[in-house]
Amino acid sequence: MIILDNGHIKAEISERGAEIRSLTVDGEQRFWSGDPTFWAGVAPVLFPICGGLKDDKFTLDGEEFLLAKHGFAKNMDFKVEQCSNASAVFLLTETAETLKSYPWKFEFRIKYTLTGTAVKVEYDIKNCSDSVMYTSVGSHEAYACPEGIEDYDIIFERNETLNAAKVVGTLISRETETVLKDSKVLPLYNKYFDIDALVFTDLRSRYVTLRNRRNGKSVSVDFDGFDYLLLWTKPGAGYICIEPWTTIPSHTDDGYELSAKEGMTALAPQKHFERKHIIHF
């Protein structure tokens, strides 16, 4: 376990998945506890896909590969490449096993930096193969809502009319349900998550705030560079996940060709794909 501490924020980060397992701000826990009664995760990193593929597989140049929901990075041990009191870099590279499900050599780095009461999370994906690599990355941080999510609002940077894609298993359909009309404030209700997540594919905002309407306590996420946002919890659990993704789950009517999957980045050999999001407490 790697511990970062800048005097305000203390983050405990596991080498397994390079996942933050605990995050306190001025001594108060602000991330979900990882209680397996509801969900054992806390902040898994999604790579090289976000969400599910149709039948958990894709094709490339006529060859078929099996790749489970959210990819494999969350279940793998990263190397700690650099570490100081307030910053750490984690590195994942391909293995014989990953090449069976994702046929590219890569370097995937995650850098965490604590600055004041903010956490910067930077992703750097390098294609180390000699062919175009199709890739994506997403975050899945669970923010503690000990009073229950119905005491909280999500406040968007801009007025939004939010049409949530309907979730079907690990996929989404092209049908949508409107959950907000021309407003910045989305009150959270457990009913939104009876099936699974709220998946927003046409969001204008790139900055959102989770605010407790009773005491005003808040956390904001700046995710410029990510085209998609998901909200997720398990009804009755004390957390809400705010998830910026660069792609989305496959649609129910999609085929299997990975290059045709919405949001996937075509990364040329030896090139880098970089994204970051910043969490402000």
Which distant-in-sequence residues (6+ apart) come within 8 Å of 133 by Cβ? 104, 106, 127, 266, 267, 269
With respect to residue 258, please indicate whether it lies within any of the assigned structural domains: no
- 149 and 136 inside one domain: no
- 131 and 153 inside one domain: no
With respect to residue 255, please indicate whether it lies within any of the assigned structural domains: no
pTM listed for this prediction: 0.95
- 210 and 275 inside one domain: no
Q: Could you tell me the residue range of the domain that residue 206 belongs to? A: 145-245
Entry field: residues in the chain: 281
Tell me the three state secondary structure of residue 151: helix
Q: How confident is the model over 201-216, as a mean pLDDT?
A: 95
- 103 and 203 inside one domain: no
The pLDDT of residue 93 is 98
- Here the CATH number for the domain that contains residue 19 is 2.70.98.10
Convert the pLDDT of each residue in 258-278 to its tens digit: 999 999 999 999 999 999 999
Going from the C-alpha of 77 to that of each of 19, 69, 161, 179, 217, the distances in angstroms are 10, 18, 40, 39, 34
Q: In what helix (H) or strand (E) does residue 101 lie, and over which residues does it extend?
A: helix 96-101
The pLDDT of residue 61 is 87
Backbone φ and ψ for 7, nearest 5 degrees, come out as 95, -25
The pLDDT of residue 236 is 87
With respect to residue 253, please indicate whether it lies within any of the assigned structural domains: no
With respect to residue 256, please indicate whether it lies within any of the assigned structural domains: no
Total of domains in the chain: 2
Confidence of residue 116 (pLDDT cuts 50, 70, 90): very high
With respect to residue 228, please indicate whether it lies within any of the assigned structural domains: yes
